[in-house]
Structures are given as C-alpha cells and as structure tokens.
C-alpha cells in the first residue's frame, strides 16, 4: 500500500460557498455527472485525480495558482471534503477515518499561522498536547527540532518578533512535533527571500534523507526540479504529467522556447515563423508568438523579421531553455506563474 | 545548520485520549485568557458597570428613580455581564480565526473529532461568562450600596442560572462567530446584541411589561430575558419575576438549539 493513494478524486465548490465567500445557503448539491458543464458559479477544483505516492518519497505537485494543488492537499489533510472519489493516507480513508489520518500527517501551511497568543515554545508544547504528547516529551522534542532548524534562540520569543522565514521554520517544527509519517507542505517558500528559501530546501532535503514521506505543492519549477523524486504537473484540476524531473524534462518539446510579445495578434507571424529553418513549432496566443527552436536564440533575428513582415512590432522577447517550464507551456499554452 | 533529524517513526501511533486533548485545548484557552485578564474584564464589564454607576448610583441619588430600582437592576447587571462576556469570548476569536488569522488550524489538525474543538470553545466561553458574573457582583454591590431585598440564600439556583445562561450565550457566540462574515461583525453588535440588551428585561423586570402586553410576549424570543429573570428570581425573589422552573427549561432548550446550530456552523467552516 503506498503512503498516499487517490482515485478519481473530484472537488466541486458550490456557488454559495466558493472558497473564501461564506454564506449560510442551502446544503451543497451532489456531484454533477462527469463531463456535465458546471452550473453557474460552481468551481471545479479537481476533476478526477489519481495519485500514488510511495513511502519515503518526496513528491511534488506542480502547477499554477488555481490548478487544484491546495485543494488536493486540503483533502489529503482532512480539511476539505471531496465531492467524489477516494483518498487514503497510510491506508486510512481521509473521509471515513479522518482522526486516524490526522495522527499520521504533519502540515505546513502556505502562510505561517502560528498561535500568536503563545510564544514559540508554547506553540509547540500546546500543539504536541493536541496530539496527546505529554509536556516533558514535547519540551525535549521542541528544543531539539528548534535547534535543528537554527531557531533555538527564539524559543521564548513572541511569534510576531520572528521573520517570515523563521516563522516558516517554526511551522515545520510544529508539523514534526508529533513525528508524523507524511509531511505536507503547501507552497512553503512563497514570500521567502532567496536565502531563506535555500535554507528551507536544506531542511527539507535532510528530512527526506531520513526517509520521511514529503508531499509539497509549488508553482516554482526550480523548486520541484531540485527537491522532488517525482512530480505531478496539474492544471485546472487535471493531472497532465507524472514522472521524475529528469523524465519530464526529456519529455519537454525539443529546443529553446522563444516567446515574442507583439503589438498585435501573432497569428500571421506564427505562420511565417513555421517556415523558418530551426523552428520546430510555432503558435500564436493573442499577441504572443511562441516558438520552439532547435537552434537556440540564433533564429531570433529571423523571427523579428518575420514578425515585422507580418506587420507587427516586437515589444518583448524571452528565451527559456528546455525545462519543466517549457513542458508546462507546451501542454497548457500558459506559464506557471 | 544541523541536519540530524530523527528517522521517521514507522509504527502507527496509539489512539489519543479525547479527554487529554480536550483538557489541552481548555488549558490553552485559559492560559491565553489569563494573560489577557485585564482586557477581558474591561471588555466584558465596562458596559454593565457604567449602567451601575448611572442607574444604580447617580439616578437614585438625584431621585429620578426610586430606590427600588436598584433592587431590580442588580440581577440584570449580572445577567448582562455574563451574557456579553460568554458571547464575545467565543464569537470574536472565531471571527478572527476563520476570517483572517487562520490560527485555529493547528487545533483543527488534532486527531480528535472536529466537534470536540468547537465544544471546548463553548466550554471556555462558558467559564469566562461565569468569571465575569463573579467579578461584577461584588463591584455592583459596592457601587450601589446596600440593596434592599437582595438575598444570597438561593445560591444553588444562582449557580444553575449562571451556568445555564453562560452555556446558552457561549453557544450563541459560537453560532454567530462562525455564521457571520468577518466584515459584518459590527452588525452583530448593532443588530443582535444591542436589541438583545434593551429588550432582554435587563433593565426592567419582565412582569413590568404587563403594561405593554404585546411586548411582554414578543420579548420571550430573547434568551437574555430568561437569564435576567432567572437572576431576579434567585437573587431578589421579592421582585415579581418569571418562574424559575420556566427559566430553567427555557435556558436548557435555548442552549440546546444554539449548541446544535453552533456545532453545525463550526463544522462547515472547519471542513471545506
């Protein structure tokens, strides 16, 4: 049995409770039949997600905002109820046995949400108590973990006196205090400066090296690439790709992605670009001309010429080497962030 | 940086005692309340104390109201203090936690049924209602001077009304705090709490409404009426009041209804 398994996982937010808004409306309607268009105002966050995460794996959910990553984590951490499908963590059903699942998991939220009425150590000792851990054990574990993430000197500090990076480390320690089997992290490095991000990566690598199963969502391709054993690329509630970072990169369309923003529609320029030598693929999306080239940036001058011949001014040019990013763009026609 | 994390624990942990977790949650709330005790007492007792000063001390001294008014006022002041503090102790943190801080999420991850987290909040609010009543009673007595007809011989009844009343209002706080959108919290005070105070028989006895019969029956939907009348019956039994049996049953029913609504609303907010 894998550490995590989902089958046909679907989540539809009814119009009356669409995520942040809250209204005491009628009970949410049942799931519409698959394939049926959503009634007005409904949000389909997940369509039918099948995932298997192995014990000890560092698993990444990569996708842009609104892809369904946070909903997936929400369901797996028992905080969101799936509309259809099944999800198991450590062979426990997240719906039928939520209490057992909560014992097996640690959760690091997207934005640090420590208990601001308590200091750092109190946060950890009380959190451990919510998991039935006696004070003396909790104190010893808390100090050891704080030491390991380099914030032991903040043990008696107010949470508000800590930087964003330090608060995020506190969230990791809090998630580990009851020694969970699976650690979930939802966009853990959003809002962190580059240095804080790197040291967080180091902490996650160390945890992974000790065999802990980690599931992390991110919309940073580099983060997924550097940390994860396998990556699921999801967009609009659907799984697009699932493999190791190396295999995914090999699957990326050959060549460099060249994106040229024009002053007007790019369709005619795309037609001309396709005729150029070294252009593997060219497509237009509004004023954006997207070209995959096997000659790197050397086709740029010809592309500019083609655009101008098509009567369009060039406003901006960007180049991206073959990567998870170019794979994502090729699959969805959009960038990750 | 040290990176010597312990290896993960492979064995499934044992079941966690629900009582252990409940007491831990309660200890957390009491720990925070203790740290903020001054703000808590000021927040919940300022309004009733101002009433005591104006209606229990100044107006009688000016002879605008008869001295009997103090007797009518004291039980009400207690009722108002405990009700306001029980509501606010639950509703305000709920609005904040679910609205923007999301701080309660660390408790929602505890391996216990989600309803237990809500139940603990209601019990914590109830305790704070009782503390507010205990705090206001001696101060009110001090400001108003001797109060004719006040008796402490029915302490059992007083305790029962205080506990039931705090429970009902704490559960109401849970419902309001989880059902109202954060941006409408101001409305809660002007549309719900203010009318509840003014039409709660808190500054006049219910029997006094005999002169306006429509009002007398309309106010029966207001839970404050039963706490105020219960206090009146238990502390100043000579003043005409509602039967304590009726008060007890009404408060039980109200507490049950708000408990159910509060639990349901909390669950809806906690699990998306």
* Angle at alpha carbon of residue B44, lines to B91 and B39, rounded to 5°: 95
Token pair, residue B171, equals 């559960």
Percent of chain B residues past pLDDT 90, beyond the cut: 45
**B181 in contact with chain A, both atoms CB, cutoff 8 A:** yes
Range of the domain at B23: 18-270
Domain contains B3: no
Structural domain includes residue B266? yes
State the count of interchain CB pairs (< 8 A) between A and B.
Answer: 131
pLDDT for position A312: 87
Most confident of A57-61, A260-264, A282-286, B190-194: A57-61
**Is B1 contained in some domain?**
no
Q: Does pLDDT of B14 surpass 70?
A: no
Span B79-98, pLDDT tens digits: 988 998 999 999 999 999 99
Q: Residues B126, B163: contact at Cβ < 8 Å?
A: yes
pLDDT for A25 beyond 60: no
Residue A108 has pLDDT above 80, yes or no: yes
Question: Minimal Cα distance from A129: which residue of B?
Answer: B24
Q: What is the pLDDT of residue A39?
A: 61
d(CA B190, nearest CA chain A) in Å: 20
Partner-chain contact B32 A178, CB within 8 Å = no
Q: Write down the pLDDT at residue A295.
A: 80
Q: Which of B24, B94, B104, B264 to mutate to test the interface with A (most CBs of A within 10 A)?
A: B24
Quote the pLDDT of residue A29: 40
Q: Please name the residues between 214 and 243 in chain B that touch chain A, using a CB distance below 8 Å.
A: none
Q: Measured between CA atoms, how close is A167 to chain B, in angstroms?
A: 13
* Mean pLDDT rounded to a whole number for chain B: 87
A103 has pLDDT over 70: yes
Answer whether residue A34 shows pLDDT above 50: no
Nearest CB partner across the interface for B102, out of A100, A113, A207: A113
Which of B10, B106, B176 best tests the A interface by mutation, with the highest count of A CBs <10 A? B106
C-alpha count within 13 angstroms, C-beta hemisphere, residue B34: 7
Contact: A99, B111; criterion CB under 8 Å: yes
Contact B11/A at CB under 8 A: no
| Helix ranges (DSSP H) in chain A | 69-76, 98-104, 120-130, 135-148, 164-176, 194-209, 221-227, 245-251, 267-274, 300-309, 324-332
Contact between A185 and A205 under an 8 Å Cβ cutoff? The reply is no
Does B25 contact A132 at a Cβ distance shorter than 8 Å? no
As a whole-number percent, the residues of chain B with pLDDT over 70 amount to: 94
Computed over every residue of chain A, the mean pLDDT equals 87
Hey, are the CB atoms on A77 and B109 less than 8 Å from each other?
yes
Q: What is the pLDDT of residue A182?
A: 95
Q: How many CA atoms lie within 13 A of B156 on its CB side?
A: 1
Q: How far apart are the first and last CA of chain A?
A: 35
Residue A38 — very low, low, confident or very high, per pLDDT cuts 50/70/90?
Answer: low
CATH 3.40.50.300 fits A4-249, yes or no: yes
pLDDT, residue A337, reads: 67
For residue B111, which residues of chain A lie inside 8 Å, CB to CB?
99-100, 102-103, 131-132
pLDDT digit string (tens) for A77-101? 999 999 999 999 998 999 999 999 9
Taking CA atoms, B272 is separated from A51, A182, A214, B40, B177, in Å, by 21, 21, 23, 32, 17
pLDDT on residue B161: 94
Give the best residue of A21, A27, A131 to mutate against chain B (max B CB count within 10 A): A131
Q: Which residue of A has its CA nearest to B264?
A: A24
CATH architecture group of domain A253-321: 2-Layer Sandwich (3.30)
Least confident of A40-44, A193-197, B43-47, B76-80: B43-47
pLDDT at B127: 94
Mean local confidence (pLDDT), A205-228: 91
Number of domains in chain B: 1
Residue A211: its chain B contacts at CB < 8 A? 7-8
Residues facing residue A46 across a β-bridge:
A11
Q: What is the structure's pLDDT at B64?
A: 85
What is the least distance, in Å, from the CA of A221 to any CA of chain B?
25
Per residue in A126-154, pLDDT (tens digit) is 999 999 999 999 999 999 999 988 899 99
Neighbours of A317 (CB within 10 A): 15
B245-253: long-range contacts at Cβ-Cβ below 8 A with a sequence spacing of 24 or more? Answer: B247/B161, B248/B160, B248/B161, B248/B164, B250/B223, B250/B226, B251/B161, B251/B164, B251/B165, B251/B167, B251/B168, B251/B223, B251/B226, B251/B227, B252/B164
pLDDT computed for residue A16 by the predictor: 64
Provide the ipTM.
0.85
Stretch (H or E) spanning B13: none
B104, pLDDT greater than 60: yes
pLDDT at A243 over 80: yes
pLDDT of A23 > 80? The answer is no
The pLDDT tens digits for B157-189 are 999 999 999 999 999 999 999 998 888 888 888
Q: Please report, for chain A, the start and end positions of each structural domain, with discontinuous segments joined by +.
A: 4-249, 253-321
CB A183 within 8 Å of CB A109: no
- The contacts of residue B222 (CB under 8 Å, 6+ apart) are B195, B196, B199, B200, B201
Q: Which chain B residues are within 8 Å of A210, Cβ to Cβ? A: 5-8
- pLDDT for residue B254: 96
What are the pLDDT digits (tens) for B106-136? 999 999 999 999 999 999 999 999 998 888 8
Which pLDDT value is given to residue B13? 54
């Amino acid at each position: 049995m894998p550490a995590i398994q989902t089958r046909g996982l679907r989540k539809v937010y009814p119009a009356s409770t669409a995520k942040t808004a809250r209204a005491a409306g009628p009970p949410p309607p049942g799931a519409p039949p698959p394939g049926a268009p959503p009634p007005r105002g409904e949000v389909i966050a997940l369509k039918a997600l099948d995932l298997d995460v192995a014990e000890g794996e560092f698993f990444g959910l990569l996708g842009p905002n609104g892809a369904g990553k946070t909903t997936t984590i929400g369901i797996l951490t028992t905080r969101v109820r799936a509309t259809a499908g099944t999800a198991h963590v450590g062979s426990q059903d997240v719906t039928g046995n939520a209490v057992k699942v909560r014992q097996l998991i640690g959760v690091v939220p997207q934005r640090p949400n420590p208990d601001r009425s308590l200091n750092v150590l109190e946060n950890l000792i009380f959190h451990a108590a919510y998991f039935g851990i006696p004070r003396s054990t909790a104190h010893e574990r808390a100090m050891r973990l704080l030491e390991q993430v380099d914030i032991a000197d903040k043990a008696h500090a107010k949470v508000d006196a800590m930087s964003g990076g330090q608060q995020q480390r506190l969230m990791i320690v809090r998630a580990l205090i009851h020694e969970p089997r699976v650690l979930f992290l939802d966009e853990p490095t959003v809002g962190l400066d580059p240095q804080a991000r790197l040291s967080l990566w180091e902490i996650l690598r160390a945890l992974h090296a000790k065999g802990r199963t980690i599931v992390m969502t991110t919309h940073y391709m580099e983060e997924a690439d550097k940390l994860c054993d396998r990556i699921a690329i999801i967009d609009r509630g659907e799984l697009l790709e699932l493999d190791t970072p190396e295999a995914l990169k090999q699957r990326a369309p050959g060549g460099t992605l060249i994106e040229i923003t024009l002053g007007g529609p790019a369709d005619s320029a795309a037609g001309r670009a396709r005729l150029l030598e070294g252009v593997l693929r060219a497509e237009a999306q509004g004023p954006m001309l997207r070209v995959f080239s096997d000659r790197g940036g050397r086709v740029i001058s010809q592309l500019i010429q083609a655009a101008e011949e098509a009567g369009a001014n060039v406003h901006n040019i960007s180049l991206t080497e073959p990567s998870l990013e170019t794979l994502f763009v090729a699959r969805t026609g959009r960038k990750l962030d | 940086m040290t990176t010597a994390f312990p290896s993960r624990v492979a064995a499934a942990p044992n079941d966690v005692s629900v009582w252990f977790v409940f007491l831990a949650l309660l200890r957390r709330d009491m720990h925070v309340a203790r740290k903020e005790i001054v703000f808590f007492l000021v927040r919940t007792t300022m309004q009733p104390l101002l009433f005591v000063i104006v209606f229990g001390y100044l107006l009688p001294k000016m002879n605008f109201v008869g001295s009997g008014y103090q007797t009518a006022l004291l039980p009400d002041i207690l009722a108002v203090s405990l009700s306001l503090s029980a509501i606010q102790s639950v509703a305000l943190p709920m609005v904040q936690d679910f609205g923007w801080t999301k701080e309660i999420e660390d408790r929602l991850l505890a391996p216990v049924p989600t309803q237990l987290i809500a139940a603990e909040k209601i019990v914590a609010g109830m305790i704070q209602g009782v503390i507010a009543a205990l705090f206001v009673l001696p101060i009110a007595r001090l400001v108003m001077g001797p109060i004719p007809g006040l008796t402490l011989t029915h302490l059992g009844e007083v305790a029962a009304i205080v506990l039931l009343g705090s429970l009902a209002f704490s559960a109401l706080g849970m419902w309001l705090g989880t059902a109202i959108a954060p941006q409408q919290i101001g409305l809660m005070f002007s549309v719900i709490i203010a009318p509840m105070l003014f039409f709660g028989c808190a500054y006049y006895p219910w029997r006094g409404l005999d002169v306006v019969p429509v009002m007398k029956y309309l106010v029966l939907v207001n839970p404050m009426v039963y706490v105020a009348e219960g206090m009146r019956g238990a502390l100043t039994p000579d003043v005409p009041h509602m039967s304590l049996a009726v008060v007890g049953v009404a408060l039980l029913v109200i507490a049950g209804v708000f408990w159910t609504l509060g639990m349901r609303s909390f669950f809806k907010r906690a699990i998306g």
